Amino acid sequence: MKRIAVILMGIVFTTSCVKEKTPGSLILHNEINTKDTTYITNSVPAPQTRVILCEEATGVRCSNCPDGAKQMKSLSEQNPGKIIVAALYSHFLNEFLPPSKHDFNNKKVDTLVNAILGGDPSKPSSAINRLPTQGVLPYFFDQTLWAGQINSMLTQKTPIHLELTSIPNGAEYILKSKIIFTDTFTAPLATSVYLMEDSIIDYQLDKTTDIDDYVHNHVVASILTPIAGVSFLNDITQKEKGRVFERSFVFSLPSNVVDKKHCKLLCFVHKTGSDKEVMQVQEVELD
């Protein structure tokens, strides 16, 4: 059955590299069977309100992180459809020890946190649309700053209209994506795609007690694109209003997925180089 996100970003892959000072090992050439096209449409949709991406650094051994998860849930419920959370279980305070059943450590997430987002922070912390913090770490905001930062961004518009369709195909999945520019845009862009999983029941350290049946949500199980993202439309410096880019590709689920029924795709378009600002993001159920 098809699942279509009303606002979703396209998953796009090109053979060119993201133009930023990133270790070469983070940028991959296109090795996935893809089909893409670009064209101009006269049916340009109205600009969308920009959804806010919160990449929350968390850990199983972080006693303050349940409070952080509660705050993110509260902010999301207060602003339905305007905030998407990705839980980054990076190495700090995330040792895999008994009684944990599942190892949330992920080398791709560690690389993202350290090479792209500036280092493993105190937890809980969150990157918010990858805007600079002016703090010790360039992208991770302390929990006390989340509400103010998010509230200042809730009504912003984006010049990028995003749609995504996920189609199960046996043991694989076909993703069809569409990006429409609703205004002229000149900055170089890339896309990143996360596979996330909700409702994983496992151990979590809390301030007052150990929780054996804690519900871990938004867990980034894999980064399906190269970690720094994949640039697109590099040969068009000025993406004019009405420019459309479509692409489809096939991928398989990684082995660390606990239950595919609780999986979803998080997709976002972001700038490249020293400015990594996220322009639009959305998530869609896998099945």
For the question of whether the overall pTM of this predicted structure is more than 0.75, the answer is yes
- What is the rounded CA–CA span in Å between residue 42 and residue 2? 27
DSSP string, 107-168: HHHHHIIIIISSS--SSSEEEETT---SSSSSSEEEGGGHHHHHHTTTT-EESEEEEEEEEE
Give the residue with greater pLDDT, 194 vs 9.
194
Which of 2, 1, 3 has its CA nearest to residue 282?
3
Q: What is the pLDDT of residues 45-72, one digit of tens each?
A: 999 999 999 999 999 999 999 999 999 9
Average pLDDT over residues 137-145: 95
What is the average pLDDT score of the chain?
A: 88
Average pLDDT over residues 128-154: 95
Q: What percent of the chain has pLDDT above 70? A: 88
Cis peptide before 124 (omega within 30 of 0): yes
Of 27-36, 67-76, 148-157, where does mean pLDDT reach its minimum?
27-36
Query: Does domain 3-285 fall into CATH 3.40.350.10?
Result: no
- What is the rounded CA–CA span in Å between residue 115 and residue 119? 7
